[in-house]
Amino acid sequence: MSQQTMARRLISAVFLGAAIMMAGISRSPAAPSQAERLAKSAYEILNGKCYRCHGANGIAMKNVFVLDRERLVSSRAVVPGDPNSLLLKVIDTDAMPMGGPPLSQEDKATLKEWVMKGAPHWGPGETGPAARPLLSESIILKLIQDDLLTAPPRTRPFLRYFSLAHLYNAAVPDPELDTYRNALSKLLNSLSWKREIALPAAIDPSRTIYRVDLRDYNWTIETWNEFLAVYPYTVRTDESRLIAQLSGSEPPYLRADWFAANASISPLYYDTLGLPRTVQDLERQLGIDVRRDLEEEKNVARAGLRSSGVSQNNRVLERHSSPSGAYWKSFDFKTSVDAQNIFKDPIKFRPSGGEIIYNLPNAMEAYFLADSLGRRLDEAPIGIVSDRNNPGDPVIRNGRSCMSCHYAGIQGFQDDMLPIVSSMAIG
- For residue 345, being part of any structural domain is answered with yes
CB 181 within 8 A of CB 260: no
Q: Which amino acid does the sequence have at 261?
A: A
For the ranges 20-24, 56-60, 119-123, 214-218, the lowest mean pLDDT is seen at 20-24
Mean pLDDT of 51-74: 77
Domain end point (choices 67, 100, 123): 123
Residue 84: how many CB atoms within 10 A of its CB? 8
Q: Are 231 and 163 in contact (CB under 8 A)?
A: no
Is the residue at 390 inside a domain?
yes
User: What pLDDT, in 10s, does the model give residues 178-224?
Assistant: 989 999 999 999 999 999 999 999 999 999 999 999 999 999 999 99
Examine the domain organization and report whether 253 and 305 are in the same domain.
no
Cis status, amide bond into 267, omega within 30 of 0: yes
Q: How confident is the model at residue 21 (pLDDT cuts 50, 70, 90)?
A: very low
Are residues 111 and 182 located together in one domain of the fold? no
The phi and psi torsions of 263 (rounded to 5 degrees) equal: -80, -5
Tell me the C-alpha to C-alpha distance, in Å, between residue 86 and each of 96, 152, 410.
11, 56, 33
Per the CB < 8 A criterion, the answer to whether 350 and 357 are in contact is no
**Same structural domain for residues 411 and 315?**
yes
**Same-domain status, 289 and 257:** no
pLDDT of residue 338: 84
Confirm whether 336 is domain-assigned.
yes
Lowest mean pLDDT among 122-136, 214-228, 286-300, 334-348: 122-136
**Amino acid 156: pLDDT:** 96
Asked if residue 22 belongs to a domain, the reply is no
Query: Which residue among 239, 263, 287 closes a domain?
Result: 263
Interatomic CA distance for residues 165 and 177, integer angstroms: 10
Query: What order of strands is seen across the sheet that includes strand 159-163?
Result: 201-202, 209-213, 159-163, 254-255
pLDDT at 304 over 50: yes
Average pLDDT, the chain: 84
Query: Does residue 422 surpass a pLDDT of 80?
Result: no
The answer to whether residue 376 scores a pLDDT higher than 50 is: yes
- Amino acid, res. 275: L
Per-residue confidence (pLDDT) for residue 16, from 0 to 100: 26
**Same domain, yes or no, for 235 and 327?**
no
| Residue 118 within a domain | yes
Instruction: Looking at the structure, tell me whether residues 162 and 250 fall in a common domain.
Output: yes
Omega of the bond leading into 97 within 30 degrees of 0 (cis): yes
Average pLDDT over residues 341-362: 88
pLDDT for 139: 94
User: Do 157 and 256 share a domain, yes or no?
Assistant: yes
Q: Do 114 and 234 belong to one domain?
A: no
Give the long-range contacts of residues 105-109, CB within 8 A, separation 24 or more.
107/45, 107/49
Q: How far from 153 is each of 147, 148, 245, 246, CA to CA, in Å?
A: 12, 8, 11, 8
- Which pLDDT does position 375 carry in this prediction? 96
Number of domains in the chain: 3
pLDDT of residue 66: 81
Residues 311 and 227 in one domain: no
Segment 68-94, tens digit of pLDDT = 888 888 888 899 888 999 999 988 888
Q: 3-state DSSP call for residue 209?
A: strand
- Choose the final residue of a domain: 240, 263, 286: 263
Closest of 213, 215, 189 to residue 364, by C-alpha: 189
* pTM value surpassing 0.85: no
259 lies in a domain? Answer: yes
Which are the contacts of 403, defined by CB distance < 8 A and separation ≥ 6?
Answer: 186, 187, 190, 264, 365, 367
Residue 391 placed within a domain: yes
Question: Given this model, what pLDDT does residue 217 score?
Answer: 97
| Range of the structural domain that residue 50 is part of | 33-123
Instruction: Please report the pLDDT score of residue 262 as a whole number.
Output: 96
Residues 174 and 107 in one domain: no
In angstroms, rounded to a whole number, what is the distance separating the alpha carbons of residues 212 and 202? 9
> Does one domain contain both 415 and 297?
yes
Indicate whether 252 and 221 sit together in one domain: yes
pLDDT in tens, 260-270: 999 999 999 99
